[in-house]
Structure 1
Amino acid sequence: MQTDPTETRLRGLMLASLDGDAAAYRTLLAELGRHLRPYFARRLTPAFATHAEDLVQETLLAIHTRRMTYDRSRPFTAWLHAVAHHKFVDHVRRQSIRLTVPLQDDAPIFAHDDHADAAARRDLGVVLESVPPRTSDLIRRTRLDGATVAEAAAAHGMTETAAKVSIHRGLKALTARFSGGNK
């Protein structure tokens, strides 16, 4: 099977940059910018064509912050495409937001039910007590507090894989317990 020369070059630059080669990293980012501009320009309507550069920068920033998630055994351009695609989808979602009247303007009309929030927190605490404490904390951090699996795993001194397994097993146990054990 013959490999695409662009894939070979970009993957080589990515691997070198992951190994600490700063020059390769600068070259990689410059080349990615040249590949991403037409990618986004083709997907944007003329009304949003000026947003292409913003999307390029957002994608490059995402690549920079998440570069350690790249699996060295996989094609780089597939990973790059996934990151760029997600940035494009985020952009489309942001653009589809409609103007609304802020509810704060009507705050005196609407009362907040703190009792319901407290009851939900209490019920959730009871439910999570039925799994081991570490599993409970991992579920709480990743599913409720918005932490990544890596962050939650680090807080417990465990690998991401072990954290994922613990979360999966905990959720499976909760599902079985609260669905009558049919799952």
Structure 2
Amino acid sequence: MARAQDGDREAYRTLLTEVEPYVRSIAIKYLRSSSDLEDAVQDVLMTVHSIRQTYDPKRPFGPWLVAIAHRRIIDQLRRQTRRRSREIELSTEHETFAAPPAKLFGERSVEIALVGAIDKLPPDQRDAIRMMKLEEMSLKEASQASGRSISALKVATHRAIRNLRKLLKGELS
């Protein structure tokens, strides 16, 4: 990446070619649809391109890339959730008759409430809960991706869970 920042187009092209499969492997853990997967990979690569000047060559490239990938994939998941809340799937007859209607609508409302509650958290707690619980990153990975200490992430995650309980208690009762 340092050579790419210095204007070496071939090094930049090689870098993007080499990181694409890695970005795809991160995205495939969270996205099921192949079109959403492709959109997320392209979004990550475009973001890397547009903010490449922010990369510090003195620091490792991997955590910088992973942080970008996770943030863009989370954005993709948010878009999916918003899209799903507006769309009605026509091929769910078997699911509709298999489960009681209250259960189907209850699960969806819990998901919507949880996403809304997470968005209300302070940024440090929101990032910690997403990395640690939603993305299932290890403490070490989350620490590298966020640039925060492991103990700070533990505290932020604990506080986020406590705040989510408070926020959801009122919405789900």
TM-score by length of structure 2 reads 0.46
More helix by share: 2
Q: Name the structure, 1 or 2, with higher relative contact order (CA <8 Å, separation 6+).
A: 2
Q: Please identify the structure whose Cα radius of gyration is greater.
A: 1
